[in-house]
């Protein structure tokens, strides 16, 4: 993927497509701006006028509830006009018809596309072909990238734990099909986490896992030993074309997060999940709803982080010369 496409000629953030190629300064800036928006939800009028007059299109070729809702709320709290286009069942799998869709919506004089697509690279493809005044935010593309989810998780970790340099983080589950895992590994390493672990059966690990900057574990008890943050991932059965696991019951037996297994981590470890949760498959309900869970905090933080990204991309928070990796 061409990472430089995310920046304009002056080095300002034009699109938000991937964590890859972004530096620590920009990731911290996103979290700082999100922090400034966190109090908006406590106001009687939950709006700021930063994007008044802008039109943001939620273009979701793949089903979503949580992500689309938080993007819509974020845009509205920035006072933007929002158009939701749910075309998950449309015949838009070919590049030509995808471009036709983009061109037709561009004719409505919009300012931003928020794109979710089942094909890896779709958001980059759209960003390369949109009109110069339009920005693109990637809301998840295939198994490739989900940068705003990674950033809301980083924001949640920072709220709970502070300094990344002291943290050991375990990402558990379907690493192979997870765009969240790939984005979070990049973000955690960029922010200087002390250790990033992935814990999964061999069938759910990508072939290039050794080059991702992680330590690999196939035993959950060992993988959770002494960690500060646990990120549980759901089994993405919709992306599985073969028999990756004997059964969901057997998966939970070996890789499901229970109270007993949570005790292997540090006593004040937090439990995260990007959702949707498959209770009794990757996580026990008592853990998901327990005192160490910050899953609902993640959902709330999604609004502030997406407000930050959209406002930065559309220029309300100038970020010239802080974005590209050095």
Grouping H, G, I as helix, E, B as strand and the rest as coil, residue 217 is strand
**pTM attached to this predicted model:** 0.91
pLDDT at 237: 54
Q: From the candidates 15, 29, 67, 101, which is the catalytic residue?
A: 67
In whole angstroms, give the CA distance from residue 235 to residue 269: 23
Residue of 77, 124, 146, 197 marked catalytic? 146
For residues 236 and 176, the answer to whether their CB atoms sit within 8 Å is no
Active site residue 146: yes
Sheet of 81-86: strand order equals 81-86, 55-60, 112-117, 135-141
E strand residue ranges, the chain: 55-60, 81-86, 112-117, 135-141, 168-172, 195-199, 215-217, 229-232, 270-272
Instruction: Give the residue ranges of the annotated binding site for L-aspartate.
Output: 94, 179, 234
- Block means of pLDDT (10 residues each) for the chain, 326 residues, are 76 94 96 94 86 95 87 96 74 63 92 93 94 95 93 98 97 93 97 97 89 95 98 71 63 93 97 92 96 96 97 70 49
Residue with tokens 């700082």: 32
Which of 116, 177, 182, 261 does the annotation list as catalytic?
A: 116
Q: Is 29 a catalytic residue?
A: no
Is residue 117 part of the annotated active site? The answer reads no
Q: What is the pLDDT of residue 92?
A: 56
Which residues line the annotated binding site for carbamoyl phosphate? Answer: 66-67, 116, 146, 149, 275-276
Residue keyed to tokens 């646990």: 230
116 in catalytic set: yes
Is residue 133 among the annotated active site residues? Answer: no
Let me know: does 230 contact 270? Beta carbons within 8 Å. Answer: yes
| pLDDT number for residue 320 | 44
Query: By CB neighbour count within 10 A (0-12 exposed, 13-18 middle, 19+ buried), where does 152 fall?
Result: buried
Instruction: CATH number for 3-146+302-313: choose from 1.25.40.10, 3.40.640.10, 2.102.10.10, 3.40.50.1370.
Output: 3.40.50.1370
- Of the residues 3, 12, 24, 66, only one is catalytic, namely 66
Third-level CATH fold of 147-299? Rossmann fold (3.40.50)
Token pair belonging to 198? 């992935």
pLDDT of residue 151: 98
pLDDT of 246 reads 59
* Binding-site entries: 66-67, 94, 116, 146, 149, 179, 234, 275-276
Q: Where are the domains of the chain?
A: 3-146+302-313, 147-299
């Amino acid at each position: 993927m061409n990472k430089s496409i995310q920046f304009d000629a002056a080095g300002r953030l034009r699109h938000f497509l991937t964590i890859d190629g972004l530096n620590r300064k920009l990731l911290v800036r996103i979290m700082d701006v999100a922090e400034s928006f966190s109090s908006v939800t406590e106001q009687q009028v939950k709006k700021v006028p930063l994007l008044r007059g802008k039109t943001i299109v939620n273009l979701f070729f793949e089903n979503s509830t949580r992500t689309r809702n938080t993007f819509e709320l974020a845009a509205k709290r920035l006072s933007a006009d929002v158009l939701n286009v749910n075309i998950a069942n449309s015949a838009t799998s070919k590049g030509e018809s995808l471009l036709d869709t983009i061109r037709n919506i561009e004719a409505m004089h919009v300012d931003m596309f928020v794109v979710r697509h089942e094909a890896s690279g779709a958001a980059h493809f759209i960003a390369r072909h949109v009109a110069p005044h339009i920005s693109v935010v990637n809301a998840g593309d295939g198994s490739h990238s989900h940068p705003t989810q990674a950033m809301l998780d980083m924001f949640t970790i920072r709220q709970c734990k502070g300094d990344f340099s002291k943290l050991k983080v375990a990402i558990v589950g379907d690493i192979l099909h997870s765009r969240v895992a790939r984005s979070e590994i990049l973000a955690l390493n960029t922010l200087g986490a002390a250790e990033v672990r992935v814990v999964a059966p061999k069938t759910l690990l990508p072939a290039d896992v050794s080059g991702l900057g992680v330590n690999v574990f196939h035993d959950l008890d060992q993988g959770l030993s002494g960690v500060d943050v646990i990120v549980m991932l759901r089994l993405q059965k919709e992306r599985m074309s073969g028999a990756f696991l004997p059964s969901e019951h057997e998966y939970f037996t070996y890789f499901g997060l229970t109270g007993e297994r949570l005790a292997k981590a540090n006593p004040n470890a937090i439990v995260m999940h990007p959702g949707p949760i498959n209770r009794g498959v990757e996580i026990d309900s008592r853990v998901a709803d327990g005192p160490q869970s910050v899953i609902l905090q993640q959902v709330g933080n999604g609004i502030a982080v997406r407000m930050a990204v959209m406002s930065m991309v559309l220029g309300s928070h100038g970020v010239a010369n802080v974005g590209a990796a050095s």
